[in-house]
Amino acid sequence: MKYFAGIDLGGTTIKGGIVDRENRIIYSKSIDTVVERGFEAVAEDIAKLVEELLIINNLEMDDIEYVGVGSPGAVDTKSGKIYFSGNLGWENVELGGYLKSRLKKEVYVGNDGACAALGEFLCLEDKNVDSMAMITIGTGVGFGFIFNGHMYDGATYGGGEFGHTTLVFGGEQCTCGQKGCIEAYASFTALIRDATRFASDNPKSCIAQIVSQNGKINGKDIFEAAKKGCPDAQMLTERFIEYIGAGIVNIINMLDPQVIVIGGGISRSSDYFLPKVIKYASENVFCRQAKLSEIRVAARGNEAGIIGAARLGDYIK
Amino acid sequence: MKYFAGIDLGGTTIKGGIVDRENRIIYSKSIDTVVERGFEAVAEDIAKLVEELLIINNLEMDDIEYVGVGSPGAVDTKSGKIYFSGNLGWENVELGGYLKSRLKKEVYVGNDGACAALGEFLCLEDKNVDSMAMITIGTGVGFGFIFNGHMYDGATYGGGEFGHTTLVFGGEQCTCGQKGCIEAYASFTALIRDATRFASDNPKSCIAQIVSQNGKINGKDIFEAAKKGCPDAQMLTERFIEYIGAGIVNIINMLDPQVIVIGGGISRSSDYFLPKVIKYASENVFCRQAKLSEIRVAARGNEAGIIGAARLGDYIK
């Protein structure tokens, strides 16, 4: 059994891949999630995608060690049950159980941010690293923490929800129902909300011009406008980077991992934001006398989620 | 060697004790810190206190395994160096090194919040607990995290500084130089600041009456006024409890330990605040479908810091 099947389940697409023992993806394929169809239809599509990945690669079920799935939300990695996922609209669904009985194979399910962190961790060149945190800045703020070479998810699988720790007590509404979560400040959804609000309040601003030209604005537009010299976009991105920096400072003050990896769409603008984030962190961590965690951008892009899911069974408790 | 010497170093007093293998304090003694005298005088007093504890108890240096010290601030547990302590006004001092050469004995130094957590952990009746966080609400907000039965302090000893994670981005000034730290909201110093400010803004309030009667106000006054029905004190304590609750929610969302222990002066008002904190946490954690960490008050009071320091050498990495 030389291979592993990894599934990166998202609100929009389901990415699947066959991964070898050297953590290389030998084949991958994406399908649409169409989450409105409900749990069983999505779970069945995951099962079919695994079967298809095997057929395309001329593999039998016996050629893979196990199937791993990274899913949004709070996941009981022991039972494969998803307690809650706002993105998927699921509560208390037995994804692991469904796939196990459907595929007659060992199945592991973990949080998607934790799987992405594991994928990046497995691809680190420095094999002496045994503690690594990853934040993924996208529609939300994903998180994963590797400690002592294992995935950290807490006593009852409620841990690792860094995106829903409070950065601004009583602040902006978060999708999780709480107020002031880091996700409500350091995600692209939050940046777009702030830019749209700013454009509406300042109709003559360069941000308002982009909104009126395109009908809306996205994170890429804002970062590009900042690079081109739009002062409003610069103000918005600077503040956005401060929120990300403050989140990273919280991670360091709490966990102090050797390495912090930043992933998601923002990693494509790393030349612009990474030096600023490192500067913010070095100036604002509590213990400036100790060595700062190494802060870098993700190396594996979208592949990390598949790789981490594929190897999940070897890195959970 | 049946015994251990434990020192709980604080900004006001130095508490020392002889602890046995069953984690019982067989004798303890406190002296004043008088921190203004500087590092060497304080370090020398710690050495003398250890010698005195031995003499009083008719013990030789060979009767103790090692000396452990819990100190405020960021401590390199490997070398015994204190990187930084705002409370003591120290930066890069070799406390472990000084005591080792002075006492000719193995010496371990750790963060005081982490030592208190270890002391409480060692006294837990349920020996199946292997992850426990402790917050100490006092002048500041102390913290310690036990994971897999060991003290967690991060890759470069910069971790475990929960008190200096941001709760209110850009908020109240903290003693550490940053703004909006949990310590600037959930400590007694913060509660007293808020009460004094409230009294000044509302000279006819029941809080203002206490301030004018006593010349000042302390945390105990505010809690007692709240219990007696003063609506302003109730508002202040309710908000204070919300800050503590939000901090605990952050700990659960991030770490999800089996047990969370609340220590410090506030634990004497546990009948009043504990049910409120548990209610807040259960309503506000991200994953309400998983089992909530057990939240309880500290069982060992001031003893925990001495016990944890005394056993430090067996629980660090």
CATH code at position A11: 3.30.420.40
CA angle A47, A52, A57 (to 5 degrees): 135
User: pLDDT-based confidence at A299, cuts 50/70/90?
Assistant: very high
Same domain for A53 and A36: yes
The per-residue pLDDT for B123 is 94
Q: Indicate yes or no: CB of A255 within 8 angstroms of CB of B154.
A: yes
Tell whether the model's pLDDT for residue B237 goes beyond 80: yes
Same domain for B133 and B89: no
Chain A residue numbers touching B256 (CB-CB < 8 A): 153-160
Interface test with A, best of B93, B94, B164, B165 (most A CBs within 10 A): B165
Q: Assess contact for B51 and B33: CB atoms under 8 A.
A: no
% residues pLDDT > 90 (chain A): 88
d(CA A1, nearest CA chain B) in Å: 32
A6-21: average pLDDT? 96
Q: Assess contact for B77 and B42: CB atoms under 8 A.
A: no
Chain B residue numbers touching A76 (CB-CB < 8 A): 290
B3-9/B64-71 β-pairing: parallel
Same domain for A94 and A151: no
Q: Indicate yes or no: CB of B154 within 8 angstroms of CB of A131.
A: yes
Of B158, B171, B256, the CB nearest to A156: B256
B10-21: average pLDDT? 96
Chain A residue numbers touching B158 (CB-CB < 8 A): 252-253, 256, 285-287, 290-293
Q: Extract the runs of DSSP E, i.e. beta strands, from B96-217.
A: 107-111, 131-137, 141-147, 150-151
The per-residue pLDDT for B23 is 96
d(CA A231, nearest CA chain B) in Å: 22
Chain A residue numbers touching B286 (CB-CB < 8 A): 74, 84, 158, 161, 164, 176, 178
- Going from the C-alpha of B30 to that of each of A44, A186, A266, the distances in angstroms are 67, 47, 54
A145-152: average pLDDT? 93
Same domain for A259 and A145: yes
| 3-class secondary-structure state, position A183 | helix
Chain B residue numbers touching A252 (CB-CB < 8 A): 154, 158-159
Tell whether the model's pLDDT for residue B122 goes beyond 80: yes
User: pLDDT-based confidence at A178, cuts 50/70/90?
Assistant: very high
**B90-93, strands of its sheet edge to edge:** B74-76, B81-85, B90-93
Tell whether the model's pLDDT for residue A288 goes beyond 90: no
The distance between the two most distant Cα atoms of chain A, rounded to a whole number of Å, is 63
Buried b (16+ CB within 10 A) or exposed e, A25-36: beebebeebebe
User: pLDDT-based confidence at A156, cuts 50/70/90?
Assistant: confident
Tell whether the model's pLDDT for residue A317 goes beyond 80: no
The per-residue pLDDT for B269 is 82
Of B83, B286, B289, the CB nearest to A161: B286
Q: At what angle do helices A219-227 and A270-284 cross, to 10 degrees?
A: 90
pTM for the model: 0.95
**Torsion region of B229: left, alpha or beta (phi above 0 gives left; psi -120 to 50 gives alpha):** left
Locus of tokens 């105990």: B220
Tell whether the model's pLDDT for residue B1 goes beyond 90: no
Same domain for A142 and A54: no
pLDDT by residue (tens digit) across A208-252? 999 999 999 999 999 999 999 999 999 999 999 999 999 999 999
Range of the domain at A137: 126-298
pLDDT by residue (tens digit) across B69-117? 999 999 999 999 999 998 899 999 999 999 999 999 999 999 999 999 9
Same domain for B220 and B103: no
Same domain for B168 and B237: yes
CA A49 to chain CA mean position, Å: 22
Same domain for B15 and B116: yes
Interface test with B, best of A165, A167, A176, A178 (most B CBs within 10 A): A165
Same domain for B176 and B292: yes
User: pLDDT-based confidence at B290, cuts 50/70/90?
Assistant: confident
User: pLDDT-based confidence at A154, cuts 50/70/90?
Assistant: confident
User: pLDDT-based confidence at B253, cuts 50/70/90?
Assistant: very high
The pLDDT mean for chain B works out to 95
Q: State the alpha helices, DSSP H only, in chain A.
A: 39-56, 95-103, 112-122, 183-186, 188-201, 206-214, 219-227, 231-255, 270-284, 303-310
Same domain for B253 and B138: yes
Closest-approach residue (CA) in chain A for B176: A286
Same domain for A260 and A156: yes
Picking from A251, A311, A305, the residue whose alpha carbon sits closest to that of residue A280 is A251
CA angle B179, B181, B182 (to 5 degrees): 150
Same domain for A144 and A261: yes
The per-residue pLDDT for B59 is 97
A287-305: average pLDDT? 92
**DSSP-assigned states of every residue in B212-265:** HHHSS--HHHHHHHHHTT-HHHHHHHHHHHHHHHHHHHHHHHHH--SEEEEESG
**What's the structural domain count of chain B?**
2
